[in-house]
Amino acid sequence: MFRKAFFALLCVTGLMASAPLLAGQQQMSVSAFDFSFPSIEGANLDLSDYQGRVLLIVNTASRCGFTRQYSALQNLWSAYRDKGLVVIGVPSNNFGGQELDTEAEVKQFCEVNFDIDFPMTAITDIKGADAHEFYKWAGAQVGMLGKPKWNFHKFLVGRDGQIADWFSSVSEPDSPKFRSAIEEALAQNSPS
Q: Is 153 helix (H, G, I), strand (E, B) or coil?
A: coil
Report the alpha-carbon distance of residue 61 to residue 39 in Å, rounded: 16
123, 97 Cβ separation under 8 angstroms: no
Task: Kindly state the helix (H) or strand (E) to which residue 37 belongs, with its residue range.
Answer: strand 36-38
Task: Give catalytic residues, as residue numbers.
Answer: 64
192, 181 Cβ separation under 8 angstroms: no
DSSP 120: B
Q: How far, CA to CA in Å, does 76 sit from each of 9, 38, 99, 172, 175?
A: 56, 23, 23, 11, 11
Report the alpha-carbon distance of residue 190 to residue 78 in Å, rounded: 21
